[in-house]
Amino acid sequence: MSSSDPTNFDEMHGPDGSIRSAYRGYNAWLEEQDKSWMRRKGAEAESFFRRTGITFNVYGEQDAEERLIPFDMVPRVVTGGEWRRLSRGIEQRVRALNAFMHDLYHRQEIIRSGRLPERLFRDNSAWLPQMVGFTPPGGVYTHIVGIDLVRTGPDEFLVLEDNARTPSGVSYMLENRETMMAMFPELFTRVKVQSVSNYPRRLAASLAASAPASAGSTPSIAVLTPGIYNSAYFEHAFLADKMGAELVEGSDLRIVDGKVQMRTTDGYRPIDVLYRRVDDDFLDPLTFNPDSVLGIPGIMDVYRAGNITIANAPGTGVADDKAIYSFMPEIVEFYTGEKALLPNVETWRCADPDSLKYVLDNLEELVVKEVHGSGGYGMLIGPTSSKKEIRKFREKLLEKPENYIAQPTLSLSTCPIFTRDGLAPRHVDLRPFVLCSPDGVDITPGGLTRVALKKGSLVVNSSQGGGTKDTWVLDD
């Protein structure tokens, strides 16, 4: 039995220890299992991940050794009803993000209306003047989106951040499910769970639907990777393989006859859709960073001529900005005419003098994040920081307040993990993966659940000791 912290919402157990409806099928199965057998299964999962090569690198570490992302074999379970409500909010948000991207690079109506300060994109390195006045093929900017969600109560899901540039982690969602089905096949006959295994096929179909008009009936798709030393290389290779697409590096591509073409044994062959996992700055050395060897010289000219689809569109990183995030309720309402179905976490913009004063007065209680930061770096978690750390961060805030936003320390929901002593609650978040094309919005039922494996920790990032779980959406 898992003991639940009364200040957190435990997704499996009620305050009285009863099992919540989402977990009843799983719990009935679990109670029939031998604990020593379950421990052996945990070790089996680790060896499976090691054999499959599901690893990641942490930038900046001396040894640069590849690490396993720890996998916990207790699933995170969401009911079908909960998922349907979540999906409506996710779709609304993603449609608004796409409309926002188009507006920012065209008429900028939201800025003219006074709903969004011009400085937010004028001073933003992710905003690309090269995209002004250009509409990508099919009108889609954000082909693949990851919306990070946290839960604080039975019906309270909040958006923590938007990932509209190059969201990662979908390979772990797929491998977590495959591992669970291999280890516990009988469990999936007892509990009906919606499938995630067709994500690569759906991704390929969504990318093909976004191809330029010149592509013909069977568009050619490739995944552009920075190479084997990138922290997410496993995922790049995995997705290319599962989609039946080519995995390419910049050196494999060149511009021939106004098209991006790939070197093959039979000469060069055109690419219609490039799912790039290379940052904007390295995409085209003729347009962006001239020292880049990861991109394709001249690809932006081909793109602006409408002869290739780049997914996601260059310049979508503006939507990942945490200062922009703080305006998302207004952005959703501006482009959809509706109130946001999924609320934001309350956010103080430190560029605002009154907000900055509040943040400085309450640093010990708040989480402070860099506006352009990611991966859990460059942040302060007030309640777990020392006085020295808080004092140093105060200096950073006073020096460049516009670089930071602050949020309350949330009581994140917990899910149980399997430990030697039985089940124990740990904090989790969720990244559902969303595909967008001219055909519509496609949300995979589930996503990547990240879990803080250390007791009491709120940091779920794999680079800082977090793990992952299989995410079940019940078929009900």
Mind listing the pLDDT tens digit for each residue in 241-298?
Answer: 999 999 999 999 999 999 999 999 999 999 999 999 999 999 999 999 999 999 999 9
pLDDT at res. 60: 45
Q: Between the ranges 67-71, 423-427, 433-437, where is the mean pLDDT highest?
A: 433-437
pLDDT at res. 406: 95
Asked if residue 55 has pLDDT above 50, the reply is yes
Asked if residue 328 has pLDDT above 60, the reply is yes
Mean pLDDT, range 401-430, rounded to an integer: 92
Asked if residue 39 has pLDDT above 90, the reply is no
Task: Provide CATH 3.30.1490.270 ranges for the chain.
Answer: 351-408
Asked if residue 4 has pLDDT above 60, the reply is no
As given in the structure block, the two tokens for residue 187 are 């469990």
Asked if residue 67 has pLDDT above 70, the reply is no
Asked if residue 224 has pLDDT above 80, the reply is yes
pLDDT at res. 57: 53
pLDDT at res. 376: 58
Q: What are the distances in angstroms from CA 186 to CA 12, 24, 28, 181, 458?
A: 21, 16, 13, 8, 33
**pLDDT (tens digit per residue) in 106-142:** 999 999 999 999 988 887 889 999 999 999 999 999 9
**pLDDT (tens digit per residue) in 26-38:** 999 999 999 889 8
Tell me the C-alpha distance between 138 and 209, whole Å. 8
Tell me the C-alpha distance between 25 and 78, whole Å. 12
Whether the predicted model's global pTM rises above the 0.75 cut: yes
pLDDT at res. 240: 98
Average pLDDT, whole number, for the chain?
91
**pLDDT (tens digit per residue) in 358-397:** 999 999 999 999 987 665 567 898 998 999 999 999 999 9
Mean pLDDT, range 217-233, rounded to an integer: 94
**pLDDT (tens digit per residue) in 248-262:** 999 999 999 999 999
CATH of domain 351-408: 3.30.1490.270
Nearest to 84 by CA among 440, 414, 476: 476
pLDDT at res. 8: 86
Query: What percent of the chain clears pLDDT 70, i.e. is strictly above it?
Result: 93
pLDDT band at residue 159 under the 50/70/90 scheme:
very high
Nearest to 103 by CA among 263, 355, 336: 336
Task: Kindly report the three-state secondary structure assignment for every residue of the chain.
Answer: CCCCCCCCCECCECCCCCECHHHHHHHHHHHCCCHHHHHHHHHHHHHHHHHHCCEECCCCCCCCCCEECCEEEEEEEECHHHHHHHHHHHHHHHHHHHHHHHHHCCCCHHHHCCCCCCHHHHCCCCCCHHHCCCCCHHHCCCCEEEEEEEEEECCEEEEEEEECCCCCCHHHHHHHHHHHHHHCCCHHHHCCECCCCCHHHHHHHHHHHCCCHHHCCCCCEEEECCCCCCCCHHHHHHHHHHHCCEEECHHHEEEECCEEEEEECCEEEECCEEEECCCHHHCCCCCCCCCCCCCCCCHHHHHHCCCCEEECCCCHHHHHCHHHHCCHHHHHHHHHCCCCCCCECCCEECCCHHHHHHHHHCHHHEEEEECCCCCCCCCEEHHHCCHHHHHHHHHHHHHCHHHEEEEECCCCCEEEEEECCEEEEEEEEEECEEEEECCEEEECCCCEEEEECCCCCCCCCHHHCEEEEEEEEECC
Contact 216, 261 (CB under 8 A): no
